Chain A
Amino acid sequence: ETGVTQTPRHLVMGMTNKKSLKCEQHLGHNAMYWYKQSAKKPLELMFVYSLEERVENNSVPSRFSPECPNSSHLFLHLHTLQPEDSALYLCASSQDRAGPTDTQYFGPGTRLTVL
């Protein structure tokens, strides 16, 4: 596998369920990101990890819980979500978070539907 992979590609869950999204990057990058993409809105940055340390948390509700066990893997743990959390969740990675010229590379996303 190359690039950034995400599983599952589609997820339907009830408001009381607990699920996890997984992201893996095969690019040797040091930074990883979670974004939320809703229709006709700019991408919303949720979390940033650099060298496995969380460096950004953009006022995301606690029902979203990230985990970065190593520089290649990133998880987003979900519990007691709301219907408005339904969206496409994108994972990205970059060589280094701190550089202004750094390019982010994205996975295909997980389409999440909360019933």
Chain B
Amino acid sequence: AQSVAQPEDQVNVAEGNPLTVKCTYSVSGNPYLFWYVQYPNRGLQFLLKYITGDNLVKGSYGFEAEFNKSQTSFHLKKPSALVSDSALYFCAVRDMDSNYQLIWGAGTKLIIKP
């Protein structure tokens, strides 16, 4: 069965420091992976996706994600955190056994402290 895990409920980072939000997955076949962000009282916004090719994917707002096939991970990263990056982040993987539905992680709350 396909699955995705976000092992941290919350991540705290000081402004200006690099940030990492972790995501691991389990799929049969090629993984198609997504990151979304949700700001308070807002819907989810698409950040980036991995389909194939370069293991480092660049996305919106200066975010990037590193695909690691051997570790089955797709961690979200940013070199220098901003207070405005504080939000809820969701990782998702495409379920190839169920009409390509997205399987979602439970989310990681990112708090950037000034």
B-contacting residues of A (Cβ < 8 Å)? 4, 6, 40-43, 45, 48, 55-56, 90, 92, 97-109
Given contacts A40-B106, A41-B106, contact A100 B45 (CB under 8 A): no
Chain A residues lying within 8 Å of B45, measured Cβ to Cβ, are: 106
Complex alpha-carbon distance, A104 and B34, angstroms = 10
Chain B residues within 8 Å of A, Cβ to Cβ: 9, 32, 34, 36, 41-46, 49, 51, 90, 94, 96, 99-107
Of B99, B102, B106, which one neighbours A98 at CB under 8 angstroms?
B99
B32–A42 CB distance below 8 A: no
**Contact in complex: B100, A42 (CB < 8 Å):** no
Return chain B residues, CB-CB under 8 Å to A92. 44
In the assembled complex, which residues on chain B have CB atoms less than 8 Å from the CB atom of A4?
Answer: 43
On chain A, the residues within 8 Å of B106 by CB distance are: 40-42
Cβ of B59 to closest chain A Cβ, rounded Å = 11
How far does the alpha carbon of A53 sit from the alpha carbon of B46 in the complex, in Å? 25
Complex contact B43–A103 (CB within 8 A):
no
Q: B43 to A97, Cβ gap below 8 A?
A: no
Q: Which single member of B9, B46, B96, B103 contacts A100 (CB below 8 Å)?
A: B96
